[in-house]
Amino acid sequence: MLTAGLLGLFGSDPFSTTLVALAVPLAINEMVLAVWLIVKGFNPITA
């Protein structure tokens, strides 16, 4: 993501193949985390 951000900052097209390819792993991670939290749920903190 850092590389994609720097390339975007210095004039690369935001929807170029390179930037999209660099952002795909983070997008997959975000979707997996969302599904995990929906299925597994949040554990309340009991103190």
Mind giving me the DSSP string for 1-47?
-HHHHHHHHTT--TT-HHHHHHHHHHHHHHHHHHHHHHHH-PPPP--
Whole-model pTM above 0.75? no
Answer yes or no: is 32 within a domain: yes
Answer yes or no: is 24 within a domain: yes
Answer yes or no: is 28 within a domain: yes
Answer yes or no: is 26 within a domain: yes
Boundaries of domain holding 29:
2-40
Between these two residues, 37 and 42, which has the higher pLDDT value?
37
What pLDDT score was predicted for residue 32?
Answer: 95
What pLDDT score was predicted for residue 30?
Answer: 93
